[in-house]
Every structure is written in structure tokens, then in C-alpha cells.
């Protein structure tokens, strides 16, 4: 409630600041006329901020001679970019269409370049246009290209994503067998990219042995994440809702009887992506309102949270694994300062990887070795300066050396006349007169900075870590100063890809990794590094101490909250549907017999539902072997994971009147069809190009109106209910069941008593029809799919069967 309350206050504050010129009523009758006159002369955001200029000039993120080009690029709108889904069935068709059609047509429209592939992205699957999103929406000559982007993005064939946002997953070096976690995943573009890598070169009807866990702290953003990733149609994904800095490890005792079956006692990952929440000033080109809101406090306020998330990511990483830390910020306090503190805490157990030879066409700049901290108009070169000036919110890890300064009484009285000016100089009569910035001895040049004017992108920061061995345990005595500073900190910050954090919303959080309340100290096989202030926080936390209470004494609000926390750790996540293995043998046997599912397909123990009552199950989801092991581990560990979405929707109960009377009430979903089809032997019919086109066009066709006699005969032998129609390529005969490969095109249908109806959404039908037209016309000048038999289908006889076409959102996530 506290976080939401702060958000509302902030919104009200912003509303007050901008309301008087628009909303305030005035008795002066001439005022509305004046307002209309002003509104007609509306001006865009002023792309200027004096504090921004002063700060980054002093930090030296670009050379002085580049400053004008740097600022000019920041003031221009960001060109739109997108990525082709490499695992899509039509990926090569889309690439050809972009190269052959849109590249030429957009040049004719008046743009010298139009669109181009990004040379540094593998296999030319990433593209960038010379138009901003606003231009795409407003320019009539770009309307067809804009509609193409919207349609393909909604289906999942492409993902609209900022160019530099595609960089972090590329440096993770993800393989098919890797366990990967995206700790701050919403809205999901990078998670989608990771799933593409997991599924790369997968055989038809098979699943990779790896998996992806996508986590986000905000429930609403989790819904957005689910909507984005469901376009991938994968059984290797789990979406969770946790604070990234407290992500549970699902630890199970080593002597548990099920350890030998699972092969693991703790959830660890081969790859970790920490795209942490940040101030977001690297997104100025697409979010110009940041010019008005920017301040140094935005970065100072999230530094400690970023460090917590990164340290938690390393604790979840296997030895030998790789972690990528990234932000969409240019501020060294959020970038190099966090990386430096990670290396100091982890010692030799973690190293910063030099990836300068990877992706050679990607222009990047080395990380900074020296920087200063600014707070409330004052430049600080070290933590000692912060203590002298009373900046208790500035922590040692923000500085290059990371050395803490103890503010003792002797230090305070040593130079009572010392005072730091806003220009950073000292106004004392002592020996130190010049503010000298510290220089880090760590290999920070291995970090990567991406600046806008290098390749016409946004700004980004990326650092790649390699975990050599288990992390050390750091336990030192804390002091009174750190206790007083850290006990008042607040670490609850909304984690989002926009990284647009207000100074008023964020206070400095503790820079360490806190143990989650209610967990035992042996939650991790690997100890989590704890800073001196963390130990004090744990000692001062009332919920961590044992107490003897009288049975009649009422519990305080804090004690009730702690009890609720313990219940949640045991798996009772209120407002979220449970994850239940589907074990109804009668229903499973009926499904296998109806569709002729082969015994070789791993079917049993791979189906789950979100409803423990099998009589009212609406959807059945399929999970891969790796996800199944994680679910079982989560059960044995007390359901520590709060799972909001899991697996691939494979079957859905047919609730129409005709569906209830069939032998199998569960139909195959469009998402699950590509995985299940190679393992089916029944309820399959091969259609000619003409009939396939008619089904996509008219959605429902009566049996006498089918063009191909063989197809009509085959459909008549199928049982009533769900069936699969496969496009017969090149008009050649096919085996029964047909041989399925990567080029096979199929749709789910419903066979009624007198007609065949398509169970695919309208936009999917439209997109598939367009793809087929292009594909057949490419093979031959006049395609069979454009034959005139379509005229024989009487439109009056075509019945739209909306009750059998599911277009609603299939995501089952309850709001907390």
C-alpha cells in the first residue's frame, strides 16, 4: 500500500503542476479565448536541461568536441526498430519481403534509406527504419508499412524493440540447454529474445532442454509480460512475480528422498540477465518528458537497489555461468559504480569479461575509470567529502574507490572551517584545496557504453560477468553511522523497462542483499555476500528475534504482516491460481485415443492446470521436462515461487452445444498445435491450396462446397469435433498421417455435422492468407491458390461460427 500511495501523491503533484493553464476555472470570460489561442501554438517538450548538461560534461562521457553532435542526436526522435522472430515459420519470408518490397517502396516514398538491417545483429534478423514511431503513425505514405509492423508484431512474427535494447541478450551466449532467468523482465522484449535463442534450431515436435524464467515485481507489468511472451508459443517459460533482489532459490534439503530423481536441490541458472530499473536518461529520444524531470537524485536513489539485484543475480548463477548487467542510463553511479562494487565484494570469484571481439560491427565505447558524485548541487569526489558535507544518503559504493569514511568526532573537528563549494572546491585554510576525483584500479574498460550518435540509437550500458567460483561471505562489524543511515532506507522501487524513476519515489536502499523474511539461513547452498550494514539490519529487525508472548495478547500489525509473509513462503499466494499437475486418467486416455497421440510423445506428467477441480478445468497446459523439474522442486521446497504463468496452452474445453456432444470435449489450441501435430495419427486431413484458401477466407464451409474430392472424403471419415487441416504442398499426394516438417502449414478446425469451421483468430487467418499468396506467387507466376473456384462458394451459405473461434485473451492471471 505504501508504494501505491507514493505513486498517487506523485501523480497528484504532477497534475497540480500542469493543471492551472488547462483545467482551472476562471471567472474572466476572455480567459477561454486566450487558452484556445495558446493551445493553437502548442510547442513540444523543450529538449534542454542545464543540470543535465553540467553533470555529463563534468563526467566526460563523450569528448568535448563531440558534445554538440551528442546533444543534437539526443534531441532528435528515436528511429523505430524491430526484430524478426528467428524461430517463426515465416521468418525467411519476412526477411525477403523486407529486402525486396519495403526497401524499394520506402525509397520511392522519398526517404534515401528507408529501412536497413542492423549489420551487427546475427543473420540480419534485426532492422531499423529512418522513421520515428510518430512518423509511422502520421505519415500516409507509410501507412502500409505501419500496418505490416502492427500485424506481424501482434501475431509474434516480429517484435518491435529499440535497437540497443537487443544488445544485452546477445552477450549472454545462450544455448539450448541453459537455464536462464530475466530478473526484471517486463515488458518482455528481451525475454522473447532469450526464448528465440533457447528454441534456435529445434527439431519439429521437440523441445529444448533449457528454459527461461521471466520475473517482475509488478503484477500489472507481469500481465504485459505474459501477453508479449505468449506470442512465442513455448512450453519452456515460467513467469514469476517477485522482488528481484529477493528472488527465492527453491532450496531443498540434500537428504530429501526426491533429490536423486530431480538431480538438483536448488534452483540455479546458467545465464542471468539483470536489466535493472534505472533513471532512464538513455531513453530521452523516445521519452522527451525526461528532459523536464531529470535530476541527479534519480540515479543516486536507485544505485543501492541496482546493486542488490545484481548481487542476487550472481547468487542465483552457477559457477561457470555468465551474467549480463545492463541499464538504459548514461550515469556512472548506476553503471560503473555498481560494477566496481560487485567486483570488490566478490573478489576473485567473479570476473569482468572482455567481449570487445564479439559483434565487431557493433560500435561501443569502454567504461569510465573515474567519475564524481553530485548531490543537491554539490560535487563530491569521495565518501569523505560526502561525510564532511553531511550527505548521509551518499554511500561509499557510489565512488570509484568504494572506500568508506567513518565520520568520527575527530574528523569533524579537524577542520571546522572546511566547506565545499558548489563548484567542487574547498573553502578552508587547510592543505586540501582541490577536489581530485578518484580513479578506479579495476578493469572497468571492459564495460560497454553505447552513445546515441555512434549508430543513431538510444544510450545503453552493458557489463558481462563470469562466475568462477562460489561467492565469499563478507561479514564485518558495522558502525553506528551505517546503522542510522541504512535503517531508514526504502528499497521498494517499481522495476520496469522504462526505468523512469522519480527522486521523490525512491530513497536510498541498503547496498547489500537482505535475507528474505521467514527464510532459513541455509536457503542457498552458496552464501550471499552481506555488507556490514546488512548485518545490523538483520539484528535490528524485530521479526527476526524470538519472543515469548502470552496467548491472550493481541498481535500487532507488524506481527500479523510477518505471519502473512510466512504463509506466502509456504506457497499460499493469495490471488494467484495454483499450479496443479493434471492427472485425470479418464480424460487423458480419451484425449490420447481421440487424436491418436503416439506413446513416444512425453504426455503424462507434463500437463498442468490452474484449477485443482478437474471437473471444471477449462485449459490444460503443456510444460517441458526442464520446467517440470522446476515445478516439482518448487513443490518440495514449499512453493516458494509465485508463478503467474507457466507452459504452453495445449488443450481447451469446448463449451458450445455441439462440442459437448463429441467424443472429446477438449480441442487443440492454436498455440499447442505445432508441437503436438508431429505426434498425432488421427483427426488429420490434407487440403488442396484452393480449399485451404477458402477456409481462411470464409471461416466455415459446408461439405458439398469443398473443391477437392479427396479432401471431402477424408473429412467425412473424421469424428465429430476438433481436427487438423494440413496444406497439401505442390498438389502432391500425402501419406496418412502426413509427414510433418518445418515447412508444414496447418490450422485447427472443427468438424460439425454438415460443415468444417476454422478455429483460428481473424488476424491469424489474414496473415496466413497473405503469406501463402506471397509464397505461391513466388514459386509460379500464376498460383493455384488464386483459382476461380472461390466464386462457387455461396456467401449466403457461409456461416460464421463465432462460438468455436476463440479470440479472447488466454492469460489466466488474477490481480493481487
Look at 43-52, 182-191, 298-307 and tell me which has the smallest mean pLDDT: 43-52
pLDDT at residue 260, as a whole number: 53
Give the domain range for residue 517.
480-539
Residue pLDDT, tens place only, 466-491: 999 999 875 333 343 443 444 444 44
What 699-702 contacts at long range (C-beta under 8 Å, 24+ apart), as own/partner pairs, is 699/757, 699/758, 699/765, 699/798, 699/800, 699/801, 699/805, 700/755, 700/756, 700/757, 700/758, 700/798, 700/799, 700/800, 700/801, 701/755, 701/756, 701/793, 701/798, 702/754, 702/755, 702/797
In a domain, 755, yes or no: yes
Sequence-distant (6+) residues with CB within 8 A of 274 are: 183, 184, 244, 309, 310, 313, 323, 324, 325, 326
What is the C-alpha to C-alpha distance for residues 556 and 541, in angstroms, rounded to an integer?
15
Cell of 316: 542465483
In a domain, 692, yes or no: yes
Sequence-distant (6+) residues with CB within 8 A of 313 are: 181, 183, 244, 272, 274, 323, 325
How is the beta sheet containing 79-84 ordered, strand by strand? 115-117, 126-132, 79-84, 158-160
Residue bearing the bigger pLDDT, 237 or 18? 237
DSSP state, residue 200: T
pLDDT at residue 772, as a whole number: 83
In a domain, 534, yes or no: yes
What is the C-alpha to C-alpha distance for residues 529 and 474, in angstroms, rounded to an integer?
5
What is the C-alpha to C-alpha distance for residues 689 and 728, in angstroms, rounded to an integer?
7
Q: Do residues 392 and 485 make contact, with C-beta atoms less than 8 angstroms apart? A: yes
What is the C-alpha to C-alpha distance for residues 585 and 591, in angstroms, rounded to an integer?
10
How far, in whole angstroms, is CA 139 from its chain's centroid? Answer: 30
Residue bearing the bigger pLDDT, 539 or 157? 157
Active-site residue identified among 73, 328, 346, 387: 328
How far, in whole angstroms, is CA 138 from its chain's centroid? Answer: 29
> Is it the case that residue 340 has pLDDT exceeding 90?
yes
pLDDT at residue 713, as a whole number: 93
Sequence-distant (6+) residues with CB within 8 A of 133 are: 77, 78, 80, 286
pLDDT at residue 604, as a whole number: 84
Active site annotation includes 278: no
How far, in whole angstroms, is CA 97 from its chain's centroid? Answer: 28
Q: Pick from 243, 646, 337, 306: which is nearest to 499 by CA?
A: 306
Look at 138-142, 330-334, 410-414, 677-681 and tell me which has the smallest mean pLDDT: 410-414
In a domain, 738, yes or no: yes
pLDDT at residue 432, as a whole number: 42
What is the C-alpha to C-alpha distance for residues 89 and 666, in angstroms, rounded to an integer?
26
In a domain, 345, yes or no: no
DSSP state, residue 316: T
pLDDT at residue 513, as a whole number: 35
DSSP string, 585-652: HHHHHHHHHHHT--TTS--TTSEEES-S-GGG--EEEE--HHHHHHHHHHHHTTS-S-EEEESEEEEE
Q: Residue 685: pLDDT band by 50, 70, 90 thresholds?
A: very high
The stretch 78-105 carries a mean pLDDT of 90
Q: Do residues 174 and 271 make contact, with C-beta atoms less than 8 angstroms apart? A: yes
> Is it the case that residue 565 has pLDDT exceeding 70?
no
- The number of domains in the chain is 2
pLDDT at residue 730, as a whole number: 65
Sequence-distant (6+) residues with CB within 8 A of 572 are: 639
Residue pLDDT, tens place only, 242-291: 999 999 988 876 656 666 566 778 899 999 999 999 999 999 999 999 99
In a domain, 197, yes or no: no
What is the C-alpha to C-alpha distance for residues 357 and 329, in angstroms, rounded to an integer?
24
In a domain, 727, yes or no: yes
What is the C-alpha to C-alpha distance for residues 59 and 371, in angstroms, rounded to an integer?
6
Looking at the chain, how many residues does it have?
816
Q: Output the pTM of the full model.
A: 0.79
> Is it the case that residue 114 has pLDDT exceeding 90?
no
DSSP string, 538-565: HHH-GGGS-----TTSPPPHHHHHHHHH
In a domain, 708, yes or no: yes
Residue pLDDT, tens place only, 403-452: 887 655 444 444 433 344 444 444 444 444 456 778 999 999 999 999 99
Of 539, 554, 570, which closes a domain?
Answer: 539
Sequence-distant (6+) residues with CB within 8 A of 54 are: none
> Is it the case that residue 461 has pLDDT exceeding 50?
yes
The stretch 62-72 carries a mean pLDDT of 96
The stretch 616-622 carries a mean pLDDT of 93
Residue bearing the bigger pLDDT, 594 or 105? 594
Residue pLDDT, tens place only, 342-379: 999 998 999 999 999 999 999 999 999 999 999 988 99
Amino acid at each position: 500500500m505504501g508504494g501505491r500511495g507514493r505513486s498517487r501523491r506523485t501523480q497528484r503533484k504532477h497534475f497540480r503542476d500542469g493543471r492551472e493553464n488547462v483545467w482551472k476555472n476562471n471567472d474572466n470570460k476572455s480567459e477561454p479565448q486566450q487558452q484556445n489561442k495558446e493551445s493553437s501554438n502548442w510547442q513540444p517538450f523543450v529538449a534542454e536541461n542545464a543540470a543535465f548538461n553540467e553533470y555529463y560534461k563534468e563526467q566526460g562521457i563523450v569528448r568535448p568536441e563531440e558534445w554538440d553532435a551528442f546533444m543534437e542526436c539526443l534531441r532528435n526522435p528515436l528511429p523505430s526498430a524491430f526484430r524478426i522472430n528467428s524461430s517463426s515459420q515465416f521468418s525467411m519470408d519476412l526477411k525477403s519481403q523486407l529486402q525486396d518490397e519495403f526497401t524499394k517502396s520506402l525509397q520511392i516514398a522519398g526517404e534515401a534509406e528507408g529501412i536497413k538491417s542492423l549489420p551487427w545483429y546475427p543473420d540480419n534478423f534485426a532492422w531499423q527504419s529512418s522513421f520515428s514511431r510518430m512518423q509511422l503513425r502520421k505519415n500516409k505514405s507509410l501507412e502500409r508499412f505501419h500496418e505490416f509492423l502492427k500485424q506481424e508484431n501482434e501475431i509474434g512474427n516480429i517484435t518491435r524493440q529499440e535497437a540497443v535494447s537487443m544488445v544485452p541478450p546477445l552477450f549472454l551466449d545462450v544455448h539450448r540447454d541453459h537455464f536462464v532467468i530475466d530478473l526484471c523482465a517486463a515488458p518482455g522484449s528481451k525475454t522473447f529474445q532469450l526464448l528465440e535463442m533457447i528454441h534456435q534450431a529445434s527439431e519439429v515436435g521437440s523441445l529444448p532442454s533449457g528454459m527461461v524464467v521471466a520475473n517482475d515485481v509488478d503484477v500489472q507489468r507481469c500481465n504485459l509480460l505474459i501477453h508479449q511472451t505468449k506470442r512465442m508459443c513455448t512450453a519452456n517459460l515460467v513467469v514469476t512475480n517477485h522482488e528481484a533482489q529477493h528472488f527465492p532459490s527453491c532450496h531443498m534439503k540434500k537428504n530429501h528422498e526426491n533429490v536423486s530423481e530431480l538431480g538438483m536441490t536448488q534452483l540455479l541458472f546458467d545465464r542471468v540477465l539483470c536489466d535493472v530499473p534505472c533513471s532512464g536518461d538513455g531513453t530521452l529520444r523516445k521519452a522527451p518528458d525526461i528532459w523536464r524531470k531529470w535530476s541527479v537524485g534519480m540515479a543516486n536513489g536507485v544505485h543501492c537497489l541496482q546493486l542488490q539485484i545484481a548481487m542476487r543475480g550472481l547468487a542465483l548463477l552457477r559457477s561457470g555461468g555468465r551474467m549480463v548487467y545492463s541499464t538504459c542510463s548514461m550515469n556512472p553511479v548506476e553503471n560503473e559504480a555498481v560494477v566496481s562494487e560487485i567486483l570488490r565484494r566478490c573478489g576473485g570469484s567473479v570476473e569482468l569479461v572482455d567481449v570487445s571481439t564479439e559483434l565487431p560491427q557493433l560500435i561501443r565505447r569502454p567504461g569510465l575509470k573515474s567519475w564524481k558524485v553530485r548531490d543537491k548541487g554539490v560535487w563530491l569526489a569521495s565518501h569523505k567529502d560526502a561525510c564532511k558535507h553531511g550527505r548521509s544518503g551518499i554511500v561509499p559504493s557510489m565512488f570509484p574507490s568504494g572506500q568508506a569514511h567513518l565520520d568520527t568526532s575527530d574528523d569533524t573537528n579537524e577542520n571546522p572551517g572546511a566547506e565545499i563549494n558548489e563548484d567542487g572546491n574547498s573553502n578552508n585554510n587547510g592543505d586540501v584545496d582541490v577536489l581530485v576525483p578518484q580513479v578506479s584500479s579495476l578493469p572497468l574498460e571492459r564495460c560497454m557504453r553505447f552513445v546515441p550518435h555512434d549508430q543513431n540509437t538510444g544510450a545503453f550500458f552493458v557489463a558481462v560477468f563470469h562466475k568462477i567460483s562460489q561467492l565469499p561471505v563478507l561479514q564485518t562489524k558495522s558502525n553506528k553511522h551505517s546503522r542510522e543511515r541504512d535503517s531508514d532506507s526504502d528499497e521498494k522501487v517499481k522495476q520496469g523497462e522504462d526505468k523512469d524513476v522519480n527522486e521523490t519515489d525512491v530513497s536510498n536502499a541498503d547496498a547489500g542483499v537482505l535475507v528474505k523474511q521467514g527464510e532459513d539461513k541455509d536457503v542457498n547452498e552458496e552464501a550471499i555476500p552481506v555488507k556490514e550494514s546488512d548485518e545490523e539490519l538483520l539484528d535490528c529487525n524485530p521479526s527476526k528475534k524470538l519472543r515469548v508472548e502470552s496467548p491472550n495478547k493481541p498481535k500487532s500489525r507488524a506481527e500479523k504482516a510477518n505471519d502473512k509473509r510466512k504463509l506466502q513462503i509456504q506457497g499460499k499466494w493469495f490471488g494467484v491460481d495454483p499450479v496443479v499437475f493434471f492427472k485425470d486418467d479418464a480424460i487423458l486416455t480419451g484425449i490420447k485415443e481421440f487424436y491418436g497421440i503416439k506413446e513416444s510423445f512425453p504426455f503424462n506428467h507434463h500437463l498442468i492446470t490452474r484449477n485443482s477441480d478437474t471437473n471444471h478445468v477449462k485449459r490444460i497446459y503443456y510444460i517441458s521436462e526442464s520446467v517440470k523439474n522446476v515445478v516439482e522442486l518448487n513443490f518440495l521446497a514449499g512453493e516458494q515461487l509465485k508463478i503467474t504463468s507457466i507452459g504452453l496452452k495445449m488443450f481447451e474445453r469446448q463449451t458450445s452445444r455441439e462440442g459437448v456432444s463429441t467424443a472429446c470435449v477438449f480441442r487443440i489450441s492454436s498455440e499447442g498445435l505445432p508441437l503436438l501435430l508431429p505426434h498425432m495419427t488421427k483427426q488429420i486431413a490434407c487440403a488442396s491450396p484452393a480449399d485451404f484458401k477458402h477456409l481462411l477466407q470464409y471461416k466455415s464451409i459446408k461439405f458439398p462446397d469443398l473443391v477437392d474430392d479427396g479432401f471431402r472424403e477424408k473429412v467425412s471419415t473424421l469424428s465429430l469435433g476438433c481436427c487438423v487441416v494440413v496444406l497439401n504442398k505442390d498438389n502432391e499426394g500425402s501419406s496418412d498421417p502426413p509427414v510433418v516438417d518445418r515447412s508444414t502449414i496447418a490450422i485447427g478446425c472443427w468438424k460439425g455435422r454438415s460443415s468444417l469451421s476454422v478455429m483460428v483468430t481473424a488476424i491469424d487467418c489474414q496473415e496466413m492468407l497473405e503469406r501463402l499468396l506471397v509464397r505461391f506467387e513466388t514459386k509460379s507466376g500464376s498460383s493455384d491458390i488464386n483459382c476461380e473456384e472461390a466464386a462457387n462458394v455461396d456467401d449466403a451459405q457461409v456461416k460464421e461460427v463465432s462460438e468455436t473461434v476463440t479470440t479472447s485473451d488466454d492469460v489466466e492471471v488474477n490481480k493481487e
